Amino acid sequence: MTANGMTRAKIGVLGAGAMGSGIAQVAAAAGHDVVVVDAHAPSIEKARQGLAKSLAKDVEKGKRTAADAAAVEKRLAFLGGADDLSAFAGCAMVIEAIVEDLDAKQSAFRRIEHEVAAECILATNTSSLSVAGIASACAYPGRVVGVHFFNPATVLPLVEIVGAITTDTAAVSAARALVDSWGKTTVLASDTPGFIVNRVARPFYGESLRILEEQIASVATIDWAMKEIGGFRMGPFELMDLIGNDVNYAVTKSVFEALGHDPRYRPSVTQRRMVESNRLGRKTQMGYYDYRDGAAKPAPVTDRALGERIVNRVVAMLINEAADAVQFGVASASDVDLAMTKGVNYPKGLLAWADEIGVSEVFARMQALQEEYAEDRYRPSALLRSMAREGRRFHA
């Protein structure tokens, strides 16, 4: 379970969906022979066609030569329509990218373990499930590690490397070194609900939804404020529509339940109603916006004072969450900031942003919210409180 000898080793990927096929392309582009297995034959064919299209686009844009694209395609083997995992024999690492269901993942890992050598690393791309829970299905849980890519895996640079309480440190080191060699930016996260990004990002959606529900501002106005004043690439409602409101709601619900129903992560009734009415966003042509042909996009209220009020509230909640992540050992301050800029394209690292605003000012904003609403949802992080009192910064 060391990085030595893994540079051009065979890699296995279980699951040929968007994430699995993207991971497979990344590994093949880095020079590995890759085998992709999916029991659903149509998924394999779709992945094969999608990969060919992606490589052709790279050639067209001058990102790689036609010969290089052909070589990448040649290193990929797709196996579908059969429930046989023996194709993973000889792999140095197998990455699972199937449905986000604990029973399904445990079953897959239990079966993969019988097909690979003892030194093979078993990696899960889970975004919200317990890595230790998945590893518990294995006779040798020490080799199971979280390797969480972001969609699209071929484009977004961040990968969260997650060691569970059961994971051998050698497996974490080897997995990180291998993914680093693929040109990705890795951060270390503890095996806690949502890891870094999906935990720290909750207020970006949740607090924006709360502002909408309070009728402080419209969907279009909140999105305008977060982009034009906050500097975010996409507004929260645009992004939820892109991700899929069902997916975003499921992650929020998972983190909420896994963290003991902490009110900070309580799912929004508005989002639940969107899911129940099948307004899932772009994929159903209806979400917070109407994506049907000829539909007009609503205009925002471009009031600067209102916009700053929105941004200050959401950013304070994001910083508060980032501070809690550091306090409870989810990740270091530098890795939290790196994760949020590289994983979800935030304009600044949240804790660097806190230093820029002033930690005491952020704490004051959180105190004001808690006094206004008298809800535990707005409790300031204990770390933020102590740093404000002592005049400390997150970064030197």
114 part of the active site: no
Per-residue pLDDT, averaged over 290-312, amounts to 97
Per-residue model confidence (pLDDT) at position 82: 67
Per-residue pLDDT, averaged over 149-165, amounts to 95
| Whole-angstrom distance, CA of residue 122 vs CA of residue 25 | 18
Peptide bond into 193 cis (omega under 30): no
Q: Catalytic residue, from 160, 207, 238, 321: name it.
A: 160
- The DSSP line for 4-33 is TT-TT--EEEE--SHHHHHHHHHHHHTT--
**pLDDT, tens digit, 9 for 90 and up, residues 77-115:** 998 876 789 999 999 999 999 998 999 999 999 999 999
Per-residue pLDDT, averaged over 307-312, amounts to 98
Q: Catalytic residue, from 96, 148, 238, 320: name it.
A: 148
Answer whether residue 357 shows pLDDT above 80.
yes
Topology, domain 11-190: Rossmann fold (3.40.50)
Residue 222: band (very low, low, confident or very high) from pLDDT cuts 50, 70, 90: very high
Q: Catalytic residue, from 43, 198, 268, 320: name it.
A: 198
127 part of the active site: yes
Per-residue model confidence (pLDDT) at position 286: 97
Of the chain, the percentage scoring pLDDT greater than 90 comes to: 92
Answer whether residue 297 shows pLDDT above 80.
yes
Answer whether residue 341 shows pLDDT above 80.
yes
Per-residue pLDDT, averaged over 203-226, amounts to 98
268 part of the active site: no
199-390 CATH pick, 1.10.1040.50, 1.10.645.10, 1.20.1250.20, 3.40.50.150: 1.10.1040.50
Mapping DSSP to helix (H, G, I), strand (E, B) and coil, where does residue 124 land? strand
Q: Catalytic residue, from 21, 43, 125, 127: name it.
A: 127
Question: What is the overall mean pLDDT for the chain?
Answer: 95
173 part of the active site: no
In degrees and rounded to multiples of 5, residue 51 shows phi and psi of: -65, -45
Per-residue pLDDT, averaged over 243-264, amounts to 93
Q: Where are the domains of the chain?
A: 11-190, 199-390
| Whole-angstrom distance, CA of residue 356 vs CA of residue 153 | 31
**pLDDT, tens digit, 9 for 90 and up, residues 12-70:** 999 999 899 999 999 999 999 999 999 888 889 999 999 999 999 999 999 999 999 99
Residue 151: band (very low, low, confident or very high) from pLDDT cuts 50, 70, 90: confident
